[in-house]
Amino acid sequence: MAEHLLEVRNLSVQFHTAGGTVHAVRNINWHLDRGETLAILGESGSGKSVSASAIMNLIDMPPGEITSGEVIFAGKNLLAMSDDERRAINGKRIAMIFQDPLSHLNPVFTVGWQIIEVMRIHGIAPDAARARALDLLKRVGIPEPETAMRKYPHQFSGGQRQRLMIAMALALKPDIVIADEPTTALDVTVQAEVLALLGELQKETGLGLLLITHDLGVVADIADRVVVMNAGEIVETGTPDEVYHNPKHPYTRKLISAAPGRGEMHEPNATGEPLLKVENLCKSYGSFKVLKGVSFTLQPGETMAVVGESGSGKSTLARALLRLDEADSGHAYWKGRDLLKMPAKELYRLRRQMQMVFQDPTQSLNPRMTVYQLISEAWVIHPEILPKPQWRPRVEELLTQVGLSPAHAERYPHQFSGGQRQRIAIARALALRPELIVCDEAVSALDVSIQAQVIALLDKLRRELGIAFIFIAHDLPVVRDFADHVMVMQAGECVEIGTVRQIFENPQRDYTRRLLDAGLDPDPRVQAARRMPKVQAGLEVG
Amino acid sequence: MGKKMMRRIVSSFFSLVALVVMVFFLSRLTGDPAALFLPIDATQEMLDQFRELHGLNDPLIQQFGRYVWDVLQLDFGDSIRKARPAIDVVLESFTWTLQLALITIALVTALAITIGSVAAFRPAGLFDRFVSLVSLIGASAPDFWIAIVGIVVFSITFGWVPTSGTGTVWHWILPVAVLFIRPFGLILQVVRGSMLTAFGSAYVKTARAKGVGNRSIIFVHTLRNAMLPVITVIGDQAAAMLNGAVVVETIFGFPGVGKLMIDSILQRDFNVILAAIMVTALAIFVMNLLIDIAYTLLDPRLRT
């Protein structure tokens, strides 16, 4: 058998925590060949990043402990090497790019310095390093490389920052690049560009690419082989096509069936008095116009999805409607009354009819309050809704309604998983019997299978309680499954608005089409067909 | 950046004006200066003469106008006790305090940052535990007690350093040492905490993945990021010292501005008190400006 570029054999890693020992990965085996893209697919807690951390010597020991296994690179076991030897390999022969480029780039140094640094530590002369850095910036598509060298990470966009990370990783022409969720924090169109860039660079240099991801779409787009992980173990290995079309393990099947975007589309038909009618809403921060006259109508019990890339004004729209931020001009009629002009007292009563669920339940739930306190707090603020003796039974009822157990009432948020926390946030929103819930990226931070469950829960609430939703999301497949109407936003303007079928099957505007095309399909065959025109378009741009 | 600084300078100017107003009227609230200044058995004639001499018979607002006019020309009047311009008396003491504060803060900063950073690199290691214990004791020990123990041990028992006064390098050792201990303990704790957070940041992971060595991770990659909260605390501590290290200066007979203020209050030398307050306020204002500049130098995100 020919020697692999990199081989992980029988690796087991544990973490010793206050809550006991966690087996992060158990006896995992995989290998990577030259010129190949291997994807490790898994949800949070599956251990998909652990082997990469072991390869890069990034596991803090303690609390981590590598209990068995070896990582063979260039005929040698990395795990048996000294720290100095491994430092000589890191960045030079094996490089890594990370999920969130803003936090992974050092905020106080210029990007030029940071790219040059990796070459300096591996012994390249300053002038040569500088010249190479300029070349790299040019290659990854950063405009005005000379000026860019002197800029700081915060002065770039998200996509550009990831390009900078890629430039840094490629500086010394490594044999292997490890990319840990490289596009997760990026908008769909930017994600498509970054993946295309990674693919091209791999072809040019013949490096082995290890891609760690939770996204079936990313796997379908660029992986040659995929390793599926669950709970610290590899459950399945194969080509993306085999794994997607012929999954052998129940977990893989569950993961694939949870991928959103293939359900029945809703056909809204409500007429009559709208619940909310928004007209010409405008909002600026200083001279920057975030909302440039947005209008839409929402019927009771219906769901309006607001989609768009970051900076398009989606969240500002939600905040303006709830009057967390004051809009500059425009109207928003709630059952005929303009809520933007409502006096404070009336607004206070109205607030309980409109609730919000935020993206990150870890941050939006007070960590010092029990679930009971979190949910019943709404009745402390609006005491007329429910007399105190009924609080306890109602909390328990709500918990049951969102799929938790009444016994959970006395626990604190940190004792729950991410999906459960989002359920608590939903129960809290339901406490006031709202007629409208605004979900700001409410399922974006959740794993696919959890996401599917939470969407199913929201759908059930919508049917049973007749709640209307404003559903802000950047993830189009989820929107396709859940929404009645879709509003596409770009740079503070409504580009297109229509029923979910109109938008997804017959988009009228170029921007909407671009957005839909940039999305990745979990099916490798569909994705391959979709990719061809994109690559050609990319070549024209490049 | 320049615009922000200008705003800062303008707003500080208004604070200084408010301070002048407050200090003048508060000092008058404590009573009739003539009665306070002259001995308790002074005759009416002496009181009248004193009032006439210092313009205390004019309406208060006129006195205030005169005072402001003089202050604008940096004339704070004469020290009643020492019969020389109050500002000269104050500046002389302030120079001593400034030297004491600068030496101490420089030492504190250098040592606290180095030791705190290294301690944070291996949290709960032997070095870290030792350092944390020492700094905790340092941050909690009362300085008058340390000062007295210091004198007893090093001056009286061993006779290594003089007990008080100024003159030689040896005179500086005890005051600096005593003044050093508390801010050192405090700043070290802040450095350690801030560095711990910084070591957990994502960019440290990137640096490791690039093959950056530990020393460079500590002193290049994280230190600058971790400095912002530290600088705030250093500024606070330095400001407190510029105000006059009252206890230390008094115990060691050190002719600084803190001791001067206490003495002037006891002697009701109002002109000196007012001048001393204005000078230290100005010094603290300059300090804050320096901290702002340091902030923007350290963190490019604050420059826009």
What pLDDT score was predicted for residue A542? 38
Total number of domains in chain A: 1
Pairing of strands A276-285, A329-334: antiparallel
Q: Is B298 on the interface with A (CB under 8 A)?
A: yes
Where in chain B are the domains? Answer: 2-72, 95-302
Q: Please report the number of interchain residue pairs, chain A to chain B, with beta-carbon separation below 8 angstroms.
A: 70
A467, part of any domain: yes
For residue B202, the chain A residues in CB contact (below 8 A) are 98, 100, 103-104
Pairwise CB contact (< 8 Å): B300 & A87: no
The string of pLDDT tens digits covering residues B229-279 is 899 899 888 888 887 678 888 888 888 888 898 888 888 787 888 888 888
Q: Tokens at residue A540, please?
A: 């024209």
Cα B292 to Cα B106, B232, B238, B279: the distances in Å are 18, 9, 14, 20
| Chain A positions in Cβ-Cβ contact with residue B225 (cut-off 8 Å) | 106-108
Is the ipTM above a cut-off of 0.85?
A: no
Query: Of B121, B197, B203, B230, which to mutate for an interface test with A (greatest number of A Cβ within 10 Å)?
Result: B203
Q: Which residue of A has its CA nearest to B213?
A: A87
Name chain A contacts of B200, Cβ cutoff 8 Å: none
Q: Given A90, A100, A152, which is nearest B210 (Cβ)?
A: A90
Which architecture, in CATH terms, is B95-302? Orthogonal Bundle (1.10)
Residue A232 domain-assigned (yes or no) = no
DSSP B140-160: HS-HHHHHHHHIIIIIIIS--
Answer yes or no: is A520 within a domain. no
- Chain A residues whose CB is inside 8 A of the B301 CB are 107, 152, 154
Q: What is the pLDDT of residues A134-147, one digit of tens each?
A: 999 998 888 899 99
Spell out which residues of chain B touch residue A105, defining contact as CB-CB under 8 Å: 203, 206
Q: What is the mean pLDDT of chain A?
A: 89
Establish if A487 belongs to a structural domain.
yes
Q: Is residue A304 part of a domain?
A: yes
Q: What is the pLDDT of residue B18?
A: 87
- Return the pLDDT at B107: 95
* Residue A336 near residue A515 (C-beta atoms within 8 A): no
Contact B209 A58 (CB under 8 A): yes
Q: How far does the CA of residue A96 sit from the closest CA of chain B (Å)? A: 6
Q: pLDDT tens across B202-224, in order? A: 999 999 999 999 899 988 999 98
* Contact status of B202 with chain A (Cβ, < 8 Å): yes
Structure tokens at A542: 């490049």
Chain B residues near residue A100 by CB distance under 8 angstroms: 202
Enumerate the residues of chain A whose CB falls inside 8 A of the CB of residue B206: 96, 98, 104-106, 165, 168
In whole angstroms, what is the distance from residue A516 CA to residue A29 CA? 37
B155 contacts B114 by C-beta, under 8 angstroms: no
In-domain check, residue A450: yes
Q: Which helix (H) or strand (E) holds A319?
A: helix A314-321
Tokens 């200090």 label which residue?
A: B23
Distance between CA atoms of A448 and A453, rounded to whole angstroms?
9
pLDDT at A223: 93
CATH code of the domain covering residue A338: 3.40.50.300
Q: Is the pLDDT of residue B69 over 80?
A: yes
Confidence grade of residue A415 (pLDDT, cut at 50, 70, 90): confident
A106/B contact by beta carbon, under 8 A: yes
**Over residues A413-433, mean pLDDT:** 88
Report, in angstroms and rounded to the nearest whole number, the Rg of chain A calculated over CA atoms: 25
When CB atoms are compared, the residue of B203, B208, B300 closest to A58 is B208
In this structure, what are the phi and psi dihedrals at residue A536, rounded to the nearest 5 degrees?
Answer: -60, -45
Distance, CA of B163 to CA of B141 (rounded, Å) = 20
Q: Do A100 and B202 touch (CB under 8 A)?
A: yes
A194 domain residue, yes or no: no
Each residue's pLDDT tens digit, B152-166: 888 888 888 887 777
Query: Is the CB of residue B210 less than 8 Å away from at least one CB of chain A?
Result: yes
- Residue B1 above 60 pLDDT? no
Which of A58, A108, A117, A162 has the highest number of chain B CBs within 10 A, making it the mutation to test binding with B?
A: A108
Residues 6 or more apart whose CB falls under 8 angstroms from that of A209 comprise A36, A37, A38, A176, A177, A179, A198, A202, A222
Chain A, window 35-94: residues with a beta carbon less than 8 angstroms from a chain B beta carbon: 56-58, 87-92
For A313: left if phi > 0, alpha if psi spans -120 to 50, otherwise beta; the answer is left
Residue length of chain B: 304
Integer Cα distance of B217 and B205 in angstroms:
10
Task: State which residues form the domain around A349.
Answer: 276-507
CB atoms within 10 A of CB A242: 15
